[in-house]
Chain A
Amino acid sequence: MGKLTNFKRSIWVFHASGGSCNACDIEIVAVLTPRYDVERFGIKLVGSPRHADVLLVTGAIPRDFADKLRRVYEQMPDPKAVVVVGSCGTTGGVFYDSYNIAGPIDEIIPVDVYVPGCPPRPEAIIDGVVKAWLKIEKLEKELEKKGGAGE
């Protein structure tokens, strides 16, 4: 519903951690703490991909987790975007080509934004989510053109 776009002042993010060492995860938490406080920009972490616009993935993704990540991605409503946080998810990092690793993440699900770093700074994570936000706005417009996205 195009006329209601002014109300879309928030973006909800689901964080999936797949075999991460937790360094990226605590930086994501740092983004939520009072120093950065992204909720004031309408960026909010949610507990279910069913409610999320953006999927934030960390970790090199072990084989056991690959199908779960795929399922989480498929459970998100359209339009959606995927942000990979950290070197492990982006390239495999130090686990590259390991026998038990299914990643990098773009070999499992389509990725829209990469935030490299080990771990990346909170500013970089925020920048990544904002880029995903722009992508979602673009996708929404495309859906509207097709006569799809009502809401």
Chain B
Amino acid sequence: MSWLESLTLTSPSGFWNPLLWLAFLVIFAVIGYIIYSRGNRSYKPNTEQVKPFISGNAVEDVEQIRVRAGDIYWGFMEALKGYYAVLMRMHTGDVRDYILWYLGIGAIILFILLGGV
């Protein structure tokens, strides 16, 4: 068994040889470089040429033109502004507040249930 064969892994569906893989990698890299070197050198990076065409208008900052997932709910938020304003004030992000709400509402439910007996 030669050293090349010793590196080759054969299987019923084919074979694998890292040196062969490397050789192909080099060949394709060379082909890629040849294609790249024939490219249009009059291309000007970092100019208007690389920016999207928006009928001649300036391209705004991506943060200003991006449609976020939350924007889907814009209609609901606008229509129910008053309701959401109250809810959002209640959402403090503090877990202790939520536990307090949980205990408070639980106490009210318990009171109603016990009061009903």
Contact = CB atoms under 8 A, between A and B. Distances in A.
Interface of A: 1, 16, 48-50, 65, 67-69, 71-72, 74-79, 143, 147-151
A50 B51 CA distance: 9
B interface residue count range (under 10 / 10 to 19 / 20 to 34 / 35 or more): 10 to 19
Please report whether the interface of chain B is mostly helix, strand, loop or mixed according to DSSP. Answer: loop
Nearest to A73: B48
Interface in B24-51: 37-44, 47-49, 51
Interface of B: 37-44, 47-49, 51, 53, 55-58
B56 A72 contact: yes
A12 B93 CA distance: 58
Contact of A148 (B42, B53, B56): B42
Contacts of A78: 42, 44
A151 B38 contact: yes
Given A71-B56, A72-B56, A77 B49 contact: yes
Given A75-B48, A75-B49, A77-B49, A150 B56 contact: no
